Amino acid sequence: METARHKKLSENILDKLSLDFLRNQVLKNAYGNDDTVIARLDPRILLAWYLVLGIVPWFVQDLWFLMGCFLLVLVTTKLARVAGLVLLLFGVGVFSQTGYLFVVSLFFGGDSSTIAPLLVLTLKVATCSLASITVFSGLDPDRLSNGLMWYGCPERLSFSISYAYRILPMLMEEFQNILLSFRMRGNPPLHETFRGKIRYLFYQVKMIMQAFYPLMLNTAKRSRTTVEALEIKGYRYAAVNKTVKKIKLATLRVTYNDLLFLAVSFLWISLSILASTLF
């Protein structure tokens, strides 16, 4: 009975972590929230906003200011309706990192006074990552790559972003198919005992590694097709041509909403500066 329940629990977790789930979460993160307030803002404005909130907190030690920034990005993350998995990863990442550092510093004779600087560090890390979550998952990939291109990022980067979002679902499906076919033909070791479980884990890892062999060959074929298709369209010349760039970026437009967003953020930050000067 006990083992049965145990098995059920682990199966449940594995269910949650299946490739399908991951794929859905990633796609939802990319395309699932076109209708939020954040997604409708101009990408250039959002990137500029991110540059301020992603860099300035690193250089400021004032707790009021940092708290203000943190609350601001918390609200924008909520507005952007980011997928749950991403937020979970963020939480685990931030707190495991600084928590681990704290525990180790206890071994070296630190005490509770170590908490305060670590709290500041956590606040900084959290603010910067939430700001980037807002911008990079809140925005549509195409708008994001247009915004980056406007700031003069290399064309290859914006191409990579657009390409990545289109190719990823296909690649994941293919990888899953290969894994399934391995599983159909394979003979996994028994995993009732502890040793068996370890052997099973190694078997799984080995299978994933081996699955990359057919995947590499398939992707090589596909990337040749992609590049040839791009060449037919004259991609390499278009990438450096100014007129093409201008046509591509013609859809970007700054509206009053964008300015309003900036002004409200500015108001909040200046309020937190005011608080830090008063107290």
Partner 1 sequence: MEPAKKQTATQSQKLMVFVLTMALYGLATLFTELIPKFQVGIVEFSVEYFLFIPLTLSMLFDPLSAALGAATGELVFSEIMLGQFGGLGELEKFITVTIGVYMAGRMVKNPQNTKMVGVAAITGTGLQLLMGTVVDILKVQLAVEDFEAVAGLPESVFATEGFAFLNDLLFSGILFCLLPTLFLVPKLYGKIEPLLGMRPRDKKTGLGSINGKVILGSLVAFAVAIGAEMLAENGTALIEWEAEWAESGTALAIGMVAAAVVAIIALIAMKSSAGKGNAERS
137 binds partner 1 (CB under 8 A): yes
> Judged by CB under 8 A, which of 52, 74, 101, 244 binds partner 1?
101
- Find the shortest distance in angstroms from Cβ 6 to partner 1: 17
Residue whose entry in the numeric block shows the structure tokens 């098995």: 7
Q: Which of residues 157-176 bind partner 1 (CB under 8 A)?
A: 157, 160-161, 163-165, 167-168, 171-172, 175
212 binds partner 1 (CB under 8 A): yes
Q: Which of residues 49-88 bind partner 1 (CB under 8 A)?
A: 54-56, 58-62, 82, 85-86
107 binds partner 1 (CB under 8 A): yes
Report the residue number, 61 or 177, with the smaller CB distance to partner 1: 61
Q: 3-state class of 38 per DSSP? A: coil
24-51 per-residue burial string, b: 16 or more CB within 10 A, e: under 16: ebbebbbebbeebebbbbbbbbbbebbe
Across the chain, where does the E strand assignment appear?
Answer: none
Contact 133, 70 (CB under 8 A): no
**DSSP 8-state symbol, 73:** H
> Judged by CB under 8 A, which of 9, 37, 180, 205 binds partner 1?
205
Window of 4-12, 66-74, 110-118, 184-192 that interacts with partner 1 by CB under 8 A: 110-118
> Judged by CB under 8 A, which of 36, 79, 81, 132 binds partner 1?
132
How far apart are the C-alpha atoms of 216 and 257, rounded to whole Å? 46
156 binds partner 1 (CB under 8 A): yes
Alpha helices per DSSP H over 112-193: 115-138, 141-150, 155-185
203 burial type by CB count under 10 A (0-12 exposed, 13-18 middle, 19+ buried): middle
Report the residue number, 4 or 73, with the smaller CB distance to partner 1: 73
